[in-house]
A and B are shown apart, each in its own frame.
Chain A
């Protein structure tokens, strides 16, 4: 067994949320540059230039890319040969969120569902834990903004809807979302599993680097067709009209019940923030 002090997890979570909110990933920047090449709409091109410039300003001035620094979503891959010492794992993660959002001047966006009273420190984090082989811990920090998350949906289709039904649902969701989720967007699609599994794999799909090919050829073909259809909608950057509505579509598929065809669409804005580290 390898011993890891939970204090190391706190520090890592803190650093990752600050880093993710300030420094846009290279893959996203590259995707924005490519979008600028493809875009035909003059106003769309200007928006894309603004987004690239915004990423530079955020990095240089160490400011958040977007004021909505999100709910703190954490994906934790915990090696089964790790022995955690020094305290409570969940509390250690929440403490990292608390420190990161305070010391990084990030906005606290967590509140009570009805009174809307802010929790004050952006906790509790949304934590997804997976036990994996090995003696390492992988932590992925995903600050998830509200605007794009609000446009996301899960549906339980009937199996007869088939692949075409799934595609129609995804394209329709993007169409109805219009300008709201801050296009150009990234679309995470989860197909199969149960209600919650579809949603979870849709969110995980977002984490694959932009520009990478899906190793599953069946899913890769669905991604290609969906991206083509979505970019025919004409919504464009910020919804002002244009060719680039989505930077990418990422699909994850798993088996489902013989009676079901669950589909989740998790929409992500162009401020597609996620950072990870292995300890």
Chain B
């Protein structure tokens, strides 16, 4: 097995470049949530030349729309959503210093190219392991777009949040290499 790498946010180029596809990574620190509707709004702000409600430099965005928190819990179940829907928006965020994206499912070539160019990583959280993932989230607060409900941008404090590197800053793709290894033609 590959060793487990521990990283803390915000991420530097050095940390990002050390990550390789297939690495198991535990994240500690702050990560931000954002999915379809929030991305649409962020890009509208960028296109108008306005400031974003969060500083994304060095940060990680987690594509998630959690279920409601039960009383006494910081968050409900919180597994990843399909990342491909964020592909039209991701390159503009990477260009502005976003260093990591957490989700599940395939990315477009444009996003993969932008990751290499701007030194960023795409990390996979296990889709459907949402109750388990929630245990790594210690605190959650809405920081923007509260009207979007489960799609609002939240600031999450995470401890040993488990992910696997799917696309690294060197052009590697775990989906392609993994499937090629086990394919039987």
Contacts and interface: CB of A to CB of B under 8 A. Distances in A.
Q: Do A and B come from one complex?
A: yes
Q: Is the interface of A mostly helix, strand, loop or mixed?
A: loop
B124 A67 contact: no
B9 interface: no
B76 to A, nearest CB: 6
Interface in B42-83: 64-70, 76-79, 81-82
A68 interface: yes
B182 A53 contact: no
Contact of B179 (A54, A61, A65, A241): A241
Contacts of A61: 131
Contacts of A147: 81-82, 104-105, 127
Interface of B: 1, 22, 36-37, 64-70, 76-79, 81-82, 84, 104-106, 124, 126-132, 134-135, 149-150, 164, 166, 174-175, 177-185
A238 interface: yes
Given A63-B70, A180-B84, A234 B181 contact: yes
Given A51-B129, A65-B130, A118-B149, A241 B182 contact: yes
A239 B175 contact: yes
A42 B1 contact: yes
Interface of A: 40-43, 47, 50-51, 53-54, 57-58, 61-69, 105-109, 116, 118, 146-147, 150, 178-180, 182, 232-236, 238-243, 269-271
11 contacts: A58-B130, A67-B64, A67-B66, A67-B77, A107-B67, A147-B81, A178-B106, A178-B175, A238-B164, A239-B179, A240-B174
Contacts of B134: 63
Given A64-B77, A107-B67, A234-B180, A57 B132 contact: yes
A270 B77 CA distance: 16
Contacts of B166: 240
A182 B127 contact: yes
Contact of B178 (A58, A150, A242): A242
Given A57-B131, A68-B65, 11 more contacts: A43-B22, A63-B134, A65-B131, A66-B79, A105-B67, A107-B76, A233-B179, A234-B181, A236-B178, A238-B126, A239-B106
Nearest to B105: A180
Contact of A66 (B22, B77, B135, B175): B77
A173 to B, nearest CB: 15
Contact of A238 (B69, B124, B135, B183): B124
A41 B183 CA distance: 12
B118 to A, nearest CB: 23
Contacts of B129: 50-51, 53-54
Contacts of A235: 179
B182 A236 contact: yes
Contacts of B130: 54, 58, 63-68
Most A-side CB within 10 Å, residue of B68, B69, B81: B68
B175 A179 contact: yes
A223 to B, nearest CB: 19
Contacts of A108: 149-150
B121 to A, nearest CB: 15
Most A-side CB within 10 Å, residue of B36, B175, B179: B179
B174 A241 contact: yes
Nearest to B83: A180
Rank and list the top 7 A-B pairs by shortest CB-CB distance, nearest first: A241-B178, A234-B183, A234-B182, A182-B127, A180-B105, A58-B131, A54-B129
Contacts of B178: 41, 43, 234, 236, 239-242
Contacts of A69: 67
